Amino acid sequence: MDQDKKKKIIDARLRLRARFKNKIEQSPSLTDPSPLGTGAKNRHNMPKIPVGQHETQNWPVLDLGIHPELSFEQWSLQIDGAVTTPQNLSWSEFLAMEQVEDISDFHCVTTWSKMDITWRGVRLAHLLALSEPKPEACHLMCHAYDGYTTNVSMEEALKDDVLLVHTADGAPLTREHGGPVRMITPQLYAWKGAKWIKRIEVLTEEALGFWEKRGYSNTAYPWKNDRYS
C-alpha cells in the first residue's frame, strides 16, 4: 500500500474514532471502578480473570457445529450497510492492509478464559474507516460463513484491540478456530467475535444476532458478569 493511501486511511480512522470518542471512553471496561473478577490487574485496569471464569491452557472449540472449509481464494470480506463506500476485499487485499500484532485474552461465556494470546491481523477500525460509516451508524452485525451472526456496538468495535485475525500465537488460525479469518473482541465475551467472518453490516439501529436472540446479553461485558439479557 502506498504511503498516500495509508495516510488517508489512518486519517479516516482517526475521524471515525473521534465521532465515538466519548462512548469509547465511557465503556465499562475502561471506567468500571469495581470490576468483578480475581487476580492481579490485567489490561484496561480489569482483574486478570473475570468473575465466574477459570483459566485454561487449552483452547476449546465451540460453534454451531459447522466448520466451513475455505481456501484463501474462496474467502472474501464484504463491508456494507450504512456506509458511503462499501468494500469487498479479497484475501490478498486483506493482507495488503496494515497488519498489527497484539496480545490479549479470550473470555468464553461458558466460563473459561485463555490468557495472553498473541494475535496478528487487521484492526476492525481500519476496515471500517475504508467503508466510511454514515453519521447515523451505531452498531455492526457480523455475519459468518457458517450462518452465525452477532452484533457489536460501534464504540466497542472501534477499540484498538478488536482485530480480524489470521494468526494466533505465531501460527495460522486453524479451521476449527475460525480460519482463515475471525474477529476477536477482548473486552467482551468471545461470542461477539465471529469465526469465519464474511460480512460486516453497518447498522443504524441495534439488531440481535444468533445468541442475542436466544437470551444472551446484547452488551456482553465479562467484568460485569453480563452473560444474559
**24, part of any domain:** yes
**112, part of any domain:** yes
**What is the pLDDT averaged over residues 195-224?**
98
pLDDT at 5: 78
**What is the pLDDT averaged over residues 194-205?**
98
Q: Please write the tens of the pLDDT for every residue from 88-124.
A: 999 999 999 999 999 999 999 999 999 999 999 999 9
**What is the pLDDT averaged over residues 171-177?**
97
Give how far the C-alpha of residue 161 lies from the chain's centroid of Cα atoms, to the nearest Å. Answer: 8
- Cα–Cα distances (Å) from 194 to 26, 66, 187, in that order, read 24, 13, 14
Dihedral (Cα; 77, 82, 84, 86), 10-degree rounding: 20
* Position 44 pLDDT exceeds 90: no
**74, part of any domain:** yes
Tally of domains within the chain: 1
Domain that holds residue 116: 3-224
**229, part of any domain:** no
Q: Please write the tens of the pLDDT for every residue from 117-169.
A: 999 999 999 999 999 999 999 999 999 999 999 999 999 999 999 999 999 99
**What is the pLDDT averaged over residues 12-26?**
93
129: left (phi over 0), alpha (psi -120 to 50) or beta: alpha
In angstroms, rounded to a whole number, what is the distance separating the alpha carbons of residues 45 and 40?
9
CATH of the domain at 104: 3.90.420.10
**What is the pLDDT averaged over residues 189-196?**
98
pLDDT at 7: 84
Q: What is the mean pLDDT of the chain?
A: 96
In angstroms, rounded to a whole number, what is the distance separating the alpha carbons of residues 66 and 144?
11
User: Is residue 1 very low, low, confident or very high in pLDDT (cuts 50, 70, 90)?
Assistant: low
